[in-house]
Amino acid sequence: MATTVSCPRCGKSVVWGPQSPWRPFCSERCRLVDLGEWLDENRRIPGTEDDLDDDSPISEHSPGAH
Ligand SMILES: [Zn+2]
């Protein structure tokens, strides 16, 4: 008995088997589109570039001339 799933992208039923290499997607196209959107979403995370650029090295007070 063939198990079928719905393509997460377009809803088309996909046979869950070796004949469907892109399962759970119905095709490579759907798979790539879904993956692309996922990556795009990931990239859209607002960059919180909040680190202070205070790169002052902790300079110890050298025991200089007195
Ligand atoms: Zn599809």
Residue-wise pLDDT for 2-58, tens only, equals 899 999 999 999 999 999 999 999 999 999 998 888 788 777 766 666 666 677 677
Span from the CA of 27 to the centroid of ligand 1 (angstroms):
6
Q: Which amino acid is at 15?
A: V
pLDDT band per the 50, 70, 90 thresholds, residue 65: low
Span from the CA of 26 to the centroid of ligand 1 (angstroms):
4
Is the bond into 24 cis (omega within 30 degrees of 0)?
yes
- Cα distance between residue 49 and residue 66, in whole Å: 43
Binding positions are: 7, 10, 26, 30
Query: 26 exposed, middle or buried (CB, 10 Å; 0-12, 13-18, 19+)?
Result: buried
Closest CA relative to residue 15, chosen from 25, 5, 28, 27 = 5
What pLDDT shows up at residue 60?
A: 73
Structural domains of the chain ordered from first start: 4-43 (3.30.50.10)
Higher-pLDDT residue of 64, 52? 64
Radius of gyration over every alpha carbon of the chain, rounded to an integer in angstroms: 27
